[in-house]
Chains A and B, each alone.
Chain A
């Protein structure tokens, strides 16, 4: 990545250092995220859930990001405006795998949407995770709002927004760059593009002239960089550097991560494993083994353990009731539901 080195202020929220222990934790988190996808894909196939979409291939970058988030509620902490491939981020932040299975199953217990939205459409108010919008790119026009509150508030909290490569064709991406750079009101915002080379069936090279989407930031006077999102160490460093800059300088940064799309777009295209794409977990495992931090066997043990646990989770989820019409009428806050159908008992 090509960030010019800069003197950073001290005292801001620091990225943890990448110790051997942390690397092993990261490894496990990557696997947890991947196994969530395995299980939710299988739920789609077996009719235990409907549409599937998720993040297999984004684990290296996503877990690196999630672990560096300043987690919490309110403008002192980081806001996240995420798209639907962000389970690695959420896992690293500590979200429970079972809750994603719940959303996949559309149970009443789904804490993110109460059985209303598709899987991987999170909303966690306690952690500043704003609702994932199914409309591509709209998160990019909302993110400047939270960042503006943070700018005014002071502190080192920042706003993170991510999305895919194809979606940057929407004007909203440019809007975000513009709002992030108003003179004198530059925003503490990390604008991320997860470039997996496709929008559904359409290759990026067919509809966009450049593979460096982040370069668009240049004309707005915004710093930017491109990183190999399949390389955990590079991703970790790039995020750390960008975040340190944003936290201390209170200015925006645009970071593109080139990632894999290991199971195609979604269940609509079959969700089968794609050959030819780099697997960031395999790559990280090779690193761990090479560095003597783990053995093949140790890695396999983690996979097995995680899969076994997730099986239990699934069993639990399948025993829970689907979301019912009990709660469907909560349109407004602070009021009794105004639209009660005669046969619907209210919570």
Chain B
């Protein structure tokens, strides 16, 4: 993406170190345009979550530090803001691994998302109803403690909770994890709808590459703490390497997972 005036978020060349010694991001730059859906792809441990956490400033809580580079949101440097200040400004992250408040009920969990809002009870109630309509499953679970609901239900709560903040930019970390296939599609439909109707921008780290690239407009591929490839989503989706390694299709045909075994095994023997 080119240097452009209307970038909502631009991350410039950041380096992240955990625990003073573990260097994880080695100069990552990326941008999210106003009203864009940007996908961040990459293998396990590439540093996707770390990137998102450095944007939302949740990194410090894990003893990680941005040692180089800057992060700008709406043209303003935000590296030193507290996470809640960022939320007030409209940036919210849905953390990987759900992080529901176990001892709060599902509804209370959702309501915590509206903590920074100042637009009155009615508006909050409206959004609450909206979240319930997205995730009808949660209506049954309304009064259950979040600690007891199933993994997928927790994922719904985490996403719903972020929506309750009425954000401008949502950093979604693995939204599809643990969700039933039907629901995965639904989540991305919601993303799409929010993006189109309300102009919410998204930066999503996602392993389910095929869905992600279907909905995103632009994508970055992160390997080992570096961006190794970026481009428009459809371009990426048609790239041969991406197809092979991220979409699991070789030569236009999806391989059976059962056959993969033998193919792999051969590869291992050869090595």
B is a partner of A: no
